[in-house]
Amino acid sequence: HNGITRPKGYRVSWHANPAVEPHHFGQSHPMKPWRLTLTKQLVMAYGMHYAMDLYLTRAATFEEMAEFHKEDYLEFLRQVVPADMEAPEQSDRIASYNIGDDCPIFDGLYNYCSLYAGGTIDAARKLVNNQSEIAINWSGGLHHAKKAEASGFCYVNDIVLGILQLLRHHPRVMYIDIDVHHGDGVEQAFWSTDRVLTVSFHKYDKDNFFPGTGALDSTGPAHPLNPGAHHAINVPLNDGIEDADYLQLFKEVVGSCVETYRPGAIVLQCGADSLGCDRLGCFNLNVTGHGSCVEYVKTFGIPLLVVGGGGYTPRNVSRAWAHETSILIDAADKIDPNIPETVAFRNHFGPDYSLFPPLSEMRRIENKNSKAYLASVVAAVKEQLRYMKG
């Protein structure tokens, strides 16, 4: 087993269904479910699967998805076929559900959505039933989907569905999102409740970066008597942030939030498009820097649901999520940074064949986040937490 054993004192569960992986968004679309195949190959080549409980997830049922989504929208997802994109009598519905270039109709769409959603729901239930302390679903994390609308490559919001499961047992759930995009769908779903604290770190540029929401002062409903007031935390960033600054910011913000809010469970969205060299992203994080955030969240010892999200350079997505799996099973120190000879698709990891290539040096984007700016963001978040305490 390459010396990899089960972690001491807690259980990690892995939730996946290989039937998710072959779905195809269409020619040259950035979202590639195949990155999950690559991730799994790395995890298995290192023997990490011996350290976890492995669950083949089932598809979420229509009723389970209807706990958040509108039934007419789910009905549409269930019956629509690629040819409907050209059918004039369907064009109004297609437009109203925001189907288009970002969120196309492809073969097996409903199957794809119900499988990744089923994974996150199952993972949440394992935590709630005390059958796992850390539950992982790398196929989930699709944070932009709305009640009755697709958005940003997301159709069904598995995170919202997972949090709804956790809320059955935990009075307070904290959501942390390190995808380079704003976690708008999750924020919006829990905007008016104080039972979920959402925290998103993201590139923010109202007019030029998707989805254009997530400003620092967007903190929850404006009315102070609305329970959701102050329960959305947004950390808007500029291009080029690097490991050390990001990690310091992450620890200050997340540490203060956990201390003040005392969540019973944490959901961590690990979107890998915040890595350097991402096809859509604009940050300079390395695999190690991204992983350090996961490691920090693990130190709280609070039941943890870990999901994937964005990530558009598949070789780096799989590096990050394999490394983060090793952190979660407490085996990061047993992982050879040289990618094993035995891994399938090893050619994707050349020419370095390293788990930790210097991404921040390969396509350095100028860092537009001054120390003063980052300090002002931390100060604003701490001020917000004072209000939250009431």
Active site residues per annotation: 182
Q: Is 177 in the site for Ca ion (CB under 5 A)?
A: yes
- Between the alpha carbon of residue 183 and those of residues 63, 160, 213, the distances in Å are 24, 11, 9
Q: How far is the CB of 256 from Zn ion (least distance, A)?
A: 24
Nearer to ligand VJV, 291 or 310 (CB): 310
Question: Binding ligand VJV by CB under 6 A: which of 73, 153, 155, 246?
Answer: 153
Which CB sits closer to ligand VJV, 101 or 341? 101
User: Among residues 118, 119, 152, 291, which is the contact residue for ligand VJV, using CB under 6 A?
Assistant: 152
Per CB under 6 A, the segment of 52-60, 80-88, 151-159, 245-253 that binds ligand VJV is 151-159
Site string for Zn ion, 175-214 (x = CB under 5 A): ----x-x---------------------------------
Q: Which does 221 bind (CB under 5 to 8 A by kind): ligand VJV, Ca ion, Zn ion, none?
A: none
Q: Could you tell me the smallest distance in angstroms from the CB atom of residue 14 to Zn ion?
A: 23
> 353: which DSSP letter?
T
Chosen from Ca ion, Zn ion, ligand VJV, none, partner binding at 29 (C-beta under 5 to 8 Å by type)? ligand VJV
SS3 (DSSP) at 126: helix
The residue behind tokens 């001020």 is 383
DSSP state of 332: G
| Residue (of 348, 283, 328, 329) closest to 310 by Cα position | 283
Over 268-324, what HEC string results? EECCHHHECCCCCCCCCECHHHHHHHHHHHHCCCCCEEEECCCCCCHHHHHHHHHHH
355 three-class SS: coil
Q: Decide: is 181 part of the binding site for ligand VJV (CB under 6 A).
A: yes
Tracing tokens 């060299």 back to the chain, one arrives at 277
Q: Which of 119, 309, 314, 357 binds ligand VJV (CB under 6 A)?
A: 309
Of the candidates 233, 234, 237, 215, which has an alpha carbon nearest to the alpha carbon of residue 282? 237
Binder of Zn ion out of 228, 310, 314, 357 (CB under 5 A): 310
Instruction: Specify the residue, 179 or 242, whose C-beta has the smaller distance to ligand VJV.
Output: 179
Interface size with ligand VJV, residues (CB under 6 A): 19
Cβ–Cβ under 8 Å, residues 297 and 178: no
Among 17, 139, 200, 284, binds Ca ion (CB under 5 A): 200
Binding-site partner at residue 245 among ligand VJV, Zn ion, Ca ion, none, CB < 5 to 8 Å by type: none
Buried b (16+ CB within 10 A) or exposed e, 323-350: bbbbbbbbbbebbeeebbeebeeeebbe
Q: What is the DSSP letter of 83?
A: G
- 2-10, 216-224, 309-317, 327-335 -> range binding Zn ion (CB under 5 A): 309-317
Distances (CA, A) of 220 to 26, 94, 184, 194, 388: 37, 30, 12, 10, 10
Per-residue contact track with Zn ion, 266 to 305, x per CB under 5 A?
A: -----x-x--------------------------------
Would you tell me which residues interact with ligand VJV (CB under 6 A)?
Answer: 28-30, 101-102, 142-144, 152-154, 179, 181, 210, 271, 273, 280, 309-310
Would you tell me which residues interact with Zn ion (CB under 5 A)?
Answer: 179, 181, 271, 273, 310
